Amino acid sequence: MRSIFAVLTATMFLAAPAAAQDSPFFVNVNFGFQAQSQDFTQSAEFPLYEETGSWAARHSINGGPFFDLGGGMRVPRGPRNLSVGAAYTARFKHTRNVTVDVNAPSPIFTDTFRTASGIASDLEHSEQALHLQALWLVPVTVEFEVTVFGGPSFFSVRDELVESVVPSETGGDFSTVDVGFSTSGQRNSTAGFNIGVDTRYMLMQKFGFIRDLGVGAMLRYSRGSIDLTPIDNGSGGVTIDAGGLEIGAGLRFRF
């Protein structure tokens, strides 16, 4: 493993100056898929009949598609293979159904609980990220190049959570309850990191004011941890992950 890493490192630093990029500015446009999925549970307590009931909501967020727009420039007076840039990523909205389980105290017997479940439908999750990056270009051929990048990331996440649960009595013997609940959208932001690799294959040169036009693919891993808390008494708060493994492809522009 060490010998392989040494060979790759030597290739990056020896091959790059021989075919360094001539274009000082670049723009990348990608569509892709964010592979991360995660499960988490909200839980909270509520007073009822001078006792304490509880509820739990089981959430599952799956991976989804994203749009990514990035750009940057070669560092002035720096190594010809070194650039700085940024990328904006917007993940499309994901909707989910959430099961809410309730333990409600009995109005007749102490320390006796009735159980019930309900479904909160079409809760939405979306996230956006700004990735700042330092990029190192590795030319492979005249038409093909690889870029390694990394840097800090700033995430903004909006997610709908269960805010409160109110059980209601059904029947005349107080043996069963129905589940009523409210949901609300919560937003928060956090900082994290990103690291990855991008490839570019040049298709044509001198396309209008574009110096060259190409296609490419991107593999990026980003991560941030974010806290979301419903408004209702601060109960049912959760910590979820933002980012994840992202695979994308699209157009590459050099100016």
pLDDT in tens, 195-220: 999 999 999 988 788 899 999 999 99
DSSP state of 9: H
Measured between alpha carbons, how far is 109 from 92 in angstroms, rounded to an integer? 49
Q: Does residue 137 surpass a pLDDT of 50? A: yes
Q: Is residue 106 part of a domain?
A: no
Looking at residue 16, its pLDDT comes to 40
Q: Is residue 172 part of a domain?
A: no
Measured between alpha carbons, how far is 246 from 63 in angstroms, rounded to an integer? 10
Q: Is residue 57 part of a domain?
A: no
157: burial class by Cβ within 10 Å (0-12, 13-18, 19+)?
buried
Measured between alpha carbons, how far is 68 from 89 in angstroms, rounded to an integer? 4
Buried b (16+ CB within 10 A) or exposed e, 50-68: eeebebbbebebebbebeb
Measured between alpha carbons, how far is 101 from 179 in angstroms, rounded to an integer? 8
Average pLDDT over residues 46-53: 92
The range of the structural domain enclosing residue 90 comes to: 2-38+63-94+124-161+184-254
Tokens describing residue 76: 């002035």
Q: Is residue 236 part of a domain?
A: yes
**The total number of structural domains that make up the chain:** 1
Q: Is residue 226 part of a domain?
A: yes
Q: Which residues touch 151 (CB under 8 Å, ≥6 apart)? A: 131, 132, 133, 134, 193, 194
231 band by pLDDT with thresholds 50, 70 and 90: low
| Region of residue 151 (phi > 0: left; psi between -120 and 50: alpha; otherwise: beta) | left
Q: Is residue 248 part of a domain?
A: yes
Q: Is this model's pTM higher than 0.85 or not?
A: no
Residue with tokens 């990608």: 30
Q: Is residue 188 part of a domain?
A: yes
Average pLDDT over residues 76-86: 91
Measured between alpha carbons, how far is 153 from 136 in angstroms, rounded to an integer? 18
Residue type at position 76: P
Residue 7: enclosing H or E segment and its boundaries? helix 2-15
| Region of residue 243 (phi > 0: left; psi between -120 and 50: alpha; otherwise: beta) | left
Q: What's the CATH number where 155 sits?
A: 2.40.160.20
233 band by pLDDT with thresholds 50, 70 and 90: low
Q: CB atoms < 10 A from the CB of 122, how many?
A: 10
